[in-house]
Amino acid sequence: MRYDITSPESIEQHAKLLIGRTLRDILPSDYSKYGGKGNIGQLIEKYHFDYEPNSDKEPDFSEAGVELKVTGYKKLKSGNNYSAKERLSLSIIDFMEIVNESFETSSFLKKNKLLLLIFYLYEYGNIDNIDFSIDFAQLFQYPDVDYEIIKNDWNTIVNKIRDGKAHELSEGDTMYLGAATKGSTSEKSKRHQPFSDIKAPQRAFSLKNKYMTHILRKYILNEKATYESIVKSPSDLQNTTFEQLILNKLKPYYGKTKLELAQQFDLNENAKDITSKIAFRILGVKTDNASEFEKANIVVKSIRLEQNGTIEQHMSFPTFKFKELITENWNDSTLRTTFSETKFLFVVYQFDEHRNLYLKKSFFWNMPLSILDSEIKNVWIKTVNTLKTGVILRKSGKRTFNNLPSPSENFYSHVRPHATKASYEAYCPYADELPDGRWMTKQCFWLNREYILQIINDSK
DNA sequence: GCATGATCATGC
DNA sequence: GCATGATCATGC
């Protein structure tokens, strides 16, 4: 052996010999029998470490307790920033066994406690994955506050399985450690779970995409943190979860008006994102987002209730490009990814009799997969089909009506214009080109106010 | 009066 | 200059 299999540092040093090379450089000419997606790690184990790949419950380098992970990062289209290419898949969740485990002695922790991360630069286009440049190799252990959050995540996932809800697991349930679908989602590859007769899709623990981007930027590229952290010490999470900690910090401010809160935190009441600014100041963070929210893909959304308890406005999401939307598949569509991987912190304000907005309540929410993969999917499919067959535009006075899914035909979601100005002019920045060459005001998916209201009323 | 198309205004 | 959270207002 050219390295000491009992020493993490020696294994790391040996991995660093890969930096600046490609996989092709180290492969013999008959490598092709190992070709295919996801096998870069196995190839590195076999040809660089002279180690026969295994799928044990033990870490890859069991004597050193090191799990080898090879993963991609990519350059973002805008600017000089890099992000993780995808989530990092760790071990498969054994629904039947895991309900008897506890985190500290879990098979997950045993295998994935100490990671050796090897990053290659993913490039778009028709490039063979053995030709990507291997740029970094580094040992990684979860920092102490992150460890507490990952422990919480593990417990959230396992408790859901204990409740007989393995089939309802969603990445949006947790912060850094997710239960990602793994392999085919077809009916026949579904698995049994211990406390329900419903079969559930196979899932694997994974470090979520945003958390991997954080690891890349902070520990690999050594970039300075953009946002302050809410949790300063792991002991803050000793007897509570992150979510509970956040809600407990917000609670004392319920009943205060937006104006009072803006003044208390010395903020301009008319600032565009005043409600989210107020929330972060309450949480003790002076930046416009919190490190934990960025890492966990938690988004603050404010809702205003009228005095009578109704909501006047629907909730908007980013605009989509017509010609891009029709090329997507539902399962990896932008819309599905948004709702399956984002957790929302809803901050609810309500008007009182003097038309003052006061803070009423706050809670975390992520969309249940059962709704995402039925109702929201239907709206998405109808949108795609309407775009493909040709949107029907009907001009009436100053307005142009269309036949995309409207709020009245689905309880949960609809499609509506969202731009600075309405425009049906070619190349106008407020318009987007339809598949048939016409142009139409930019549109986005909205969540219906009635659904939002139901979520609020169902929340604790 | 409501449904849904249109627009405002801040901030990057 | 545009995206986006917030809000307005026309047409049925």
> What is the C-alpha to C-alpha distance for residues A97 and A110, in angstroms, rounded to an integer?
15
CA to C1' distance (Å), from A170 to B9 = 36
CA to C1' distance (Å), from A278 to B10 = 16
Q: What is the DSSP string of A307-351?
A: TTS-B-S-EEEEEE-HHHHTT--GGG-HHHHHHHH-EEEEEEEEE
Give tens-digit pLDDT for A399-452.
Answer: 999 999 999 889 999 999 999 999 999 999 999 999 999 999 999 999 999 999
CA to C1' distance (Å), from A419 to C2 = 9
The model carries a pTM of 0.91
CA to C1' distance (Å), from A421 to B6 = 7
Q: Report CA-CA distances (Å) from A234 to A143, A221, A231, A434.
A: 9, 24, 7, 51
Q: Which residues touch strand C (CB under 7 A)?
A: A 272-275, 301-302, 304, 313, 316-319, 396-399, 418-420, 429-430, 442
Q: Which nucleotides of B are covered by protein (CB under 7 A)?
A: 3-12
- Give residue A127's pLDDT: 77
Residues in chain A: 460
**Quick check: A400 CB within 7 A of strand B?**
yes
> What is the C-alpha to C-alpha distance for residues A53 and A181, in angstroms, rounded to an integer?
23
> In sequence order, which residues have a C-beta less than 8 Å from that of residue A110 and are 6 or more positions away?
A57, A58, A59
Pairing relation of β-strands A343-351 and A298-305? Answer: parallel
> What is the C-alpha to C-alpha distance for residues A9 and A129, in angstroms, rounded to an integer?
27
Q: At A86, is the secondary structure helix, strand, or coil?
A: coil
Pairing relation of β-strands A196-200 and A191-193? Answer: antiparallel
CA to C1' distance (Å), from A419 to B7 = 8
**Quick check: A418 CB within 7 A of strand B?**
yes
Q: Which nucleotides of C are covered by protein (CB under 7 A)?
A: 1-8, 10-12
CA to C1' distance (Å), from A423 to B5 = 11
3-state secondary structure A94-148: CHHHHCCCCHHHCHHHHHHCEEEEEEEECCCCCCCHHHCEEEEEEEECCCHHHHH
Q: Are A137 and A146 in contact (CB under 8 A)?
A: no
Residue nearest to nucleotide C4 (CA to C1'): A318
Phi-psi region of A132 (alpha: psi -120 to 50; beta: other; left: phi over 0): beta
pLDDT of chain A along its 460 residues, tens only?
689 999 999 999 999 999 999 888 888 777 666 555 557 788 888 889 988 766 678 899 999 999 999 999 988 876 678 889 989 999 999 999 999 999 999 999 999 999 999 999 988 776 777 889 999 999 999 999 999 999 999 999 999 999 999 999 998 899 999 999 887 767 777 899 999 999 999 999 999 999 999 999 999 999 888 899 999 999 999 899 999 999 999 999 999 998 899 989 988 887 778 888 999 999 999 888 999 999 999 999 989 998 888 888 899 999 999 999 999 999 989 999 999 999 999 999 998 888 888 999 999 999 999 999 999 999 999 999 999 999 999 999 889 999 999 998 899 999 999 999 999 999 999 999 999 999 999 999 999 999 999 999 998 7
